[in-house]
Amino acid sequence: MLVQLPLNRASNFAMENDLKSPKRKRAVPLKKMSSQNVASQKEPQEEKQSICDMEDMFSDIETQKIRKALLGWYEDNCRDLPWRRRTNKEEEEDEEKEKRAYGVWVSEVMLQQTRVQTVIQYYNRWMLKWPTLHHLAQASLEEVNEMWAGLGYYRRARFLLEGAKMIIAGGDGFPKTISSLRKVPGIGEYTAGAIASIAFEEVAPVVDGNVVRVLARLKAICANPKHKTIVKNFWKLAAQLVDPCLPGDFNQSLMELGAIICTPMNPSCSLCPVSSHCRAYSISKEDKSVVVTDYPAKVLKVKQRKEYSAVCVVEILGSHDIVEGQNTGSRFLLVKRPNEGLLAGLWEFPSITLDKEADLTLRKNEIDHLLKKSFRLERGMTYQKISREEVGEFFHIFSHIRLKVYVELLVICLKGERSDLFSEQDNEVMSWKCVDSKALATLGLTSGVRKVYNMVQKLKQKKLST
């Protein structure tokens, strides 16, 4: 339920049929539009708008100059990232190419909606644990989720695992073409193009958020960049530009330019290797009321909806270890989410979803009902309450949800020899486990769950100090 959703790499776009557009002298940027308003427009109107806003294709001379400029700039300025191995691709054996493809796949999936600096440490740890596709295919979903903890969008991790198992089971080696890559779970048009071009030198375009921004400014395209008709044209432009001799390097140069030079808010136009071909830059110099950042049109985000949740950290003191039969002191109750749906297979503290803001009494009653129904934890009957206190609350921000989380700590001692306490749990509701504080500190948990645990620890430290 609780997970950080970091932002950066835009979602992949789908390639569709091409559309032509007439020449215009210049493009005028549109005002900001809400995604709801854009979606409500009729298809013929949007198609007409895209034709008006989309300039002609690059000329042959312009294409050659842009390729040369970008490849030269990339050679001298590309960032040293662990998934970029500059090798002689012609001398690479098939095994090395497949290993490169695997690394590209992992990095591209991690980079979706996530900053590069965050991904680097995750990528290095991942490749250390599962250096090849065969290693990953032998992993469990729980292991993968623990390694992924903190990156958000856990569905991506599940698709990586499912895809690895599917490829290995097929016995034909790593897919080398876009058409075969698209058959792998979780690999869309963008990821397929990135793998095929970078690892196997297939002449194929890639279009992500960085590429859209660069192309929109090069051609002064001021239409909604997320509309499917406009997306088709971005793929068409990218396909025209991609270098037939070095498709992988060119695609990376285009993405790199958008990442470090042609940025959303503060582009460094004076350092851009293709500024002489940029219509947005040219227009901004002629008309001071227009700036490069007007391109592409900015779509206002949909307002986040509010949701509420109550989390209960259940700490069991001096209890008989249910799993190992040892007296190990304080342990914490963790609940496993279902293997399908949001945050599938991840561990969290017992929690409930609330319809609206609720007072402490109502939250406690709801938590008590959950503990009794799912774990047979009933005060006076199966456990003695040592303490119960409100820890605090915080907001957890998702891309489309503003979640308010209430946190409480319930410290209990089980009554008698109750090793069978949880044996009659409703298996259709949830799975559980008890872990000590040392194991909990090293367990792969989502950022939201980790925040809850840290709040509890701070409360305990404060009580000790006073």
Q: What is the pLDDT of residues 243-282, one digit of tens each?
A: 999 999 999 999 999 999 999 999 999 999 999 999 999 9
Q: What is the mean pLDDT of residues 216-231?
A: 92
Each residue's pLDDT tens digit, 117-140: 999 999 999 999 999 999 999 999
Alpha-carbon separation of residue 332 from 309, 360, 409, 456 (angstroms): 19, 22, 11, 12
pLDDT number for residue 361: 94
Is residue 213 pLDDT above 70, yes or no? yes
Residue 121: predicted pLDDT: 95
CA–CA separation, 134 vs 126, rounded Å?
Answer: 13
pLDDT at 395: 93
DSSP 405-421: EEEEEEEEEE-SS-TTT
417-431: per-residue pLDDT in tens?
554 555 444 445 558
Per residue in 159-175, pLDDT (tens digit) is 999 999 999 999 999 99
Q: Which of 93-102, 180-189, 323-332 is modeled with the greatest confidence?
A: 180-189
More confident: 154 or 187: 187
Give CA torsion, residues 392, 397, 400, 403, to 10 deg: -10
**Is the Cα dihedral 289, 294, 295, 299 positive or negative?**
negative
**Could you identify the residue written with the tokens 């946190």?**
407
**Confidence check: pLDDT of 60 > 70:** yes
Which range (27-31, 205-209, 372-376) has the least confidence? Answer: 27-31
Confidence band, pLDDT 50/70/90 cuts, at residue 156: very high
DSSP state of 277: G
Q: Which backbone phi and psi does 336 adopt, to 5 degrees?
A: -95, 130
Q: 41-55, 100-114, 320-334, 345-359: which range is least confident on average?
A: 41-55
Choose among 103, 101, 102, 123: nearest CA to 114: 123
Q: What is the pLDDT of residue 398?
A: 76
Query: End-to-end CA distance of the chain, in Å?
Result: 33
User: In the structure, what pLDDT confidence band is assigned to residue 336 with cuts at 50, 70 and 90?
Assistant: confident
Which residue did the predictor score with more confidence, 337 or 240?
Answer: 240
Q: What pLDDT, on the 0 to 100 scale, is given for residue 325? A: 42
Catalytic residues, by residue number, are: 108
The radius of gyration computed from the CA coordinates of the chain, to the nearest angstrom, equals 27
